[in-house]
Structure 1
Amino acid sequence: QVCPTGIDIRDGLQYECIGCALCIDACDQVMDKMDYPRGLIRYTTENELEGKTSKLLRPRTFGYGAVLTAMIGAVIFIVASRVPAQMDVLRDRGALYSFNGEGRIENSYTIKIQNMSEVPQTFVLSVEGLKDMRIITDTTVKVASGENRSLPTVVDVPPESIQSTNSDIRFIATSQTDSSLILETESRFVGPRAR
């Protein structure tokens, strides 16, 4: 009795079998002692028992290969197309606009930059869309690897640059670490009606 679950293999396939193959090893040892060929008990296929050849390349094998290739390709595509950083701009909803001491019109924003690369990044912020538009808060932001950084930002323009109450503007964050990494996000600049 070699089976750890106590079953008798002569009774056929049983659900208690844990597939440990101790019965196969014991049978092969007995067959060696008696000078009989090994393999009375073995893992095999019905085709092999009937003397037929087993096909290694079956449609199912090709199907599994195709699915595996597609999955590997999808993973490679996802990793290769992953963006190293991302930027979002949220307009401050507390005040539509205000006038600063220079008589220029201000809008407040929160810029969120997420660095998904393996290296720290330093970004220089700029804005475009209206004549003489500028960022009057800090324009350099350092973002550590894996960090999600929020930066309160104020943008102002001279009143004569305003043509409508809502103007399309674009925030641009250019990496000083990697010159090919440029983030762009659109937003709105709100001002008084043009006179």
Structure 2
Amino acid sequence: MGHSQADKAESRERVLRIAARKVRTEGVTRPGIAELMQEAGLTHGGFYKHFTSRDDLIAQAAGRALAEGSAKMEKAARKNEREPSTGLIDAYLSQRHRDAPATGCALVTLGADAGRGEQQFKDAYEKQVLGYLDLIAGMDGDAEEARAEALLTLSALVGAMLMSRAVADPELSDELLSTVADRLKQRSSRAADPAD
């Protein structure tokens, strides 16, 4: 019995992991149950052993996709202890992040879906936004100014990444990433050393 429960938990986890990757790349309306179950190596009929509905799965997958970004953002911020915002900006606005939406920040791909989504989805999205704002604001001193800069920084990060993935011209895509990264780092440097 214990082995069967462990297998069931592993299968559920596999479906959830695949669904989280799919909602990052395709949004919440695209992935179908049959497709997800097939990719997980399971039958369509077994779906309801793990989730009450497609909406249940997608809500959990979106929540997971959003939450998984926190550890990556914190790790990026720790890369440069003297200037944590530089590490975060460089990691976020990288070609690597742009080219890997399945493992990237879900704020980028799920924003529009969250805006149209159910309250549970909106709450998960908002929780992630607030977490990122706290992380970014915690890098600076004055609380009110840090919050304002965090709002600007997060909006620029997400917006630049979204547009860099959406445009057809690779040069424009690279320009969006590099220019926004440079400008954000300049702002961060000036904020850290106002005497300059």
Assess same fold via TM > 0.5: no
TM-score normalized by structure 1?
0.19
Q: Work out which of the two has the higher radius of gyration on C-alpha atoms and give 1 or 2.
A: 1
TM-score normalized by structure 2?
0.19
**Which protein is richer in strand relative to its size?**
1
Give the number of the structure with larger relative contact order, counting CA–CA contacts within 8 Å between residues 6 or more apart: 2
**Which protein is richer in helix relative to its size?**
2
